Structure 1
């Protein structure tokens, strides 16, 4: 008889959690034949969704011209969600170096008000050019047939960019100062 207490329990790495969320009805916000929209488990704003393809595509850097219709579906979903949240300004885009496996597009409100927004890296990942706007990614795919990767140096520079409000010229001392300021918008 085998001793179960000695068996290793292999868990999926946290970076693989999007697939699990796609298959969890309580996480799914909406879906189409091509995409699933889930609620971000750690939202960085009042509205924060992730749009994922049903097809197993790991990254925007795996896209080619054959994926244009899929990306246009992402845009249709973004448009629908914009209409549902017409009281908020939303933007859609991709992190140039995502922390989670499986390609996903963020749909996030500009307010950036959230208890989960804790670090400068969280902030800079949505407020610098590290965040690749949906329309730019689609245009690059149509024009070039691929999306260009950013360099390691540019990534480091963007993540270390000094904090600055995304809605005015305010320069905070730190994240708590910025979060307090964001409530004034």
Structure 2
């Protein structure tokens, strides 16, 4: 983002990782915080203390840092007494914030903050890059390449589909009701 809101939000992430009360877990190189607008019951961000704009600024030299981010992601799941299989860990392929962050998000997607199709597709299509895919691409290519405009268009306009079954909802409210049913059945 190049507007002032985007810059303010990026600055907000930087100040959030410096405030000890926001910290769930930290290491010498990174911090885990709650997402301010969680899109699921559990939604955390793992941010490096180093100023790295996004995944497109990663190089092979960042692999040890990425491993540290992933270890912290695993740790927060353990601290919250959750199960790894119930989570997605990865990066947005089309980042909306100007600071590198690894999402640790439960697959339930039950949240008042999940409001738009864009919220859903950013986590449940190829717009979400699993951690392992990012490290594999980085090792193979030395960088992370941007998706083409055509691919982004295809992914953002695809039909909604439940991430837990074959249900195809009419709209986001229909999807949210359906996801809530999944969630209550598991509890």
Q: TM-score, normalised by structure 2?
A: 0.88
Q: Stretches of 4+ moved more than 3 A in 1?
A: none
- Give the direction of change, closer, same or farther, for the CA distance of 1:175–1:26 in structure 2 (3 Å limit): same
1:163 maps onto 2:160 in alignment: yes
Preserved CA contact (<8 Å) 2:25 2:76: no
- Give the direction of change, closer, same or farther, for the CA distance of 1:119–1:141 in structure 2 (3 Å limit): same
1:31 maps onto 2:26 in alignment: yes
- Give the direction of change, closer, same or farther, for the CA distance of 1:15–1:160 in structure 2 (3 Å limit): farther
Unaligned stretches of 5+ in structure 2?
183-187
Unaligned stretches of 5+ in structure 1?
1-9
Corresponding residue to 1:76 among 64, 68, 71:
71
- Paired residues for 1:1-185 under 5 Å: 13-84=8-79, 85-87=81-83, 89-185=86-182
What is the CA deviation profile of residues 11-68 of structure 1, one whole-angstrom value per residue up to 9, with x for unaligned ones?
8533432112112223222110111111100000000001111110001111111111
- Structure 2 Cα separation of the partners of residues 124 and 15 of structure 1: 22
- Structure 1 Cα separation of the partners of residues 117 and 69 of structure 2: 28
- Structure 2 Cα separation of the partners of residues 68 and 167 of structure 1: 31
For the residue of structure 2 that corresponds to 1:108, the secondary structure is strand
Which range moved further: 138-147 or 99-108? 138-147
Q: What displacement does 1:172 show?
A: 0.7
Which range moved further: 143-152 or 174-183? 143-152
Preserved CA contact (<8 Å) 2:24 2:76: no
Q: What displacement does 1:112 show?
A: 0.3
Q: TM-score, normalised by structure 1?
A: 0.89
